[in-house]
Amino acid sequence: MELLYRSTRSDQRRVRASEAILKGLAEDGGLFVPESVPVLDRSLRELSGMSYQDTAYEVMKLFLTDFTEEELRGCIERAYDSKFDTGVIAPLHYADGAYFLELYHGATIAFKDMALSILPHLMTTAARKNHVTDEIVILTATSGDTGKAALAGFAGVPGTKIIVFYPKDGVSSIQEKQMVTQKGDNAWVVGIRGNFDDAQNGVKEIFGDTYLADVMRQAGLRFSSANSINIGRLVPQIVYYVYACAKLLKAGRIEDGQTVNVVVPTGNFGNILAAYYAKLAGAPIGKLICASNENKVLYDFFQTGDYDRNREFILTASPSMDILISSNLERLIYRIAGNDPVRTAGLMKDLAEKGTYTITPEMKERLADFAGGYATQERAALVIRRLYEQDRYVIDPHTAVAAAVYEDYRAASGDDAACVIASTASPYKFPRSVMEAMGEACGGMADFDLIERLSELSRTPVPRAIEEIRTAPVLHTRVCGRDEMKKAVEEILGLS
């Protein structure tokens, strides 16, 4: 049976999965959602004996029904290969009463790799299926993590080019080094004299430039986005929740019929939404615990039913969760609105115009599967230290927010079902804040000295992603003003 996708905001034409991946966003500005969430046709017991790649096929075939088995397996094999430093791709580590699902064993040691390593292959396959012969040009503005993960995913993929803009003085030195050393003759990295919003707005303007789009078409090129609202990013994220449940069954940590709680350090609401879809698809997931840092818009939303972005933006040690508009939440809103696009569009209009919206009590009742929590930076740091001292296990500041929220949830609810905590970044990505939390004096120490010391203390090898940038030559030195971004794109693409 073919699964079609529709917009959260209107009753416009349904599209196949491959079209939804190519388009990214629906024409009315809404997000694509499956008309119904498909259900796994393999038992958890059967899945428990499968590799990550086979599990990925079993999950993705349900959502991407217009891809052939050969196409899907081809994408999966090219994505989940030796770019990951472990054959199991997403290992579970037991510590302090929970299972940490380590989603950071890919090319850029953060969970974005789980989806961005396969998205380029899904996109080029989708283009072929839809007889699109244009080369796909990915344009991305990044505040750090996404840019590098997108570069690593698209570099060297035939039929694609990628251009990443980042604020020249607005990312960490390790993040910048990761990007400017990117290899691949289809990849370009450009520093902007401005902040992340400037870069983001510049990219939006280029996407909206119809004259440029014409010139592009004549040159056999078309823009696309690797944004987290693309279902080509969402669907691959469902896989690891199914995989984690299956592995807990295999290890005898849960019995048939028992459920697993899931805690997710949340920003844009993509990762936790994937866990929700996994539950709807039949994975034995109990509570979905949404963990926020001080930017606790989502915590407040789950408490009160009011979403309110009108508040101070707080910079924290978990920057990938410093978000006031969680774009993927729209898919959950659509569902609790009874799959009603008119109501969803109304709420999203309120959000755009007033920065706030309120759901009905009836909609709020449909959120019973979710629990919200938040933890401050100080609290997360204490958890990093405790896990290190107790278990010699080192976690990153994002994962630590989730671990702290789980501690609170468990104390308040008494719910001691097995629990999976999504571990979204390697501690090596944030060596300074992690080492400070561990109680190490790092004043004046250089990044790579910190990394050596972290390796000694955690007794884990320095990841390849970090080793590589230590000696890698800088390949990208282009810097431009905020108003010169379009010109940079035209030069790079040979359009001027």
Ligand X SMILES: *Cc1c(COP(=O)(O)O)cnc(C)c1O
Q: Which residues bind to ligand X, rule: CB under 6 A?
A: 110-112, 145, 228, 265-271, 320-321, 398, 424-425
Encoding tokens for residue 100?
A: 């940490």
Q: Which is nearer to ligand X, 127 or 242 (CB)?
A: 242
- CB-based burial, 202-238: b 16+ in 10 Å, e otherwise: bbeebeeeeebeeebeeeebbbbbbbbbbbbbbbbbb
Can you list the alpha helix ranges (DSSP code H) found in 117-187?
A: 119-129, 145-154, 173-180
Helix (H, G, I), strand (E, B) or coil at 120: helix
Can you list the alpha helix ranges (DSSP code H) found in 8-165?
A: 17-23, 44-48, 52-63, 69-79, 112-116, 119-129, 145-154
State how far the Cα of 7 lies from the Cα of 480, in Å rounded to an integer.
36
8 Å CB contact between 308 and 355: yes
CB 25 to ligand X: min, Å: 16
In the DSSP assignment, the letter for residue 40 is -
CB 145 to ligand X: min, Å: 4
Helix (H, G, I), strand (E, B) or coil at 112: helix
Burial tier of 7 (Cβ tally within 10 Å: 0-12, 13-18, 19+): buried
CB 422 to ligand X: min, Å: 8
Q: Which is nearer to ligand X, 67 or 430 (CB)?
A: 430
Q: Which is nearer to ligand X, 163 or 290 (CB)?
A: 290
CB 185 to ligand X: min, Å: 27
Q: Which is nearer to ligand X, 79 or 212 (CB)?
A: 79
Q: Which is nearer to ligand X, 112 or 287 (CB)?
A: 112
CB 116 to ligand X: min, Å: 11
What is the length of the chain? Answer: 496
Q: Which is nearer to ligand X, 288 or 480 (CB)?
A: 288
Beta strands in 103-235 (DSSP E): 135-141, 160-167, 187-193, 221-224
State how far the Cα of 7 lies from the Cα of 141, in Å rounded to an integer.
25
CB 59 to ligand X: min, Å: 17
Q: At 237, which amino acid appears?
A: Q
Q: Which is nearer to ligand X, 113 or 135 (CB)?
A: 113
Q: Of 259, 233, 260, which is closest to residue 92 (Cα–Cα)?
A: 260
Tell me the CA end-to-end span of the chain in Å, nearest whole number.
47
CB 150 to ligand X: min, Å: 12
Q: Which is nearer to ligand X, 59 or 401 (CB)?
A: 401
State how far the Cα of 152 lies from the Cα of 118, in Å rounded to an integer.
11
Q: Which is nearer to ligand X, 122 or 263 (CB)?
A: 263
CB 400 to ligand X: min, Å: 11
CB 107 to ligand X: min, Å: 13
The alpha carbons of the chain give a radius of gyration, in whole angstroms, of 22
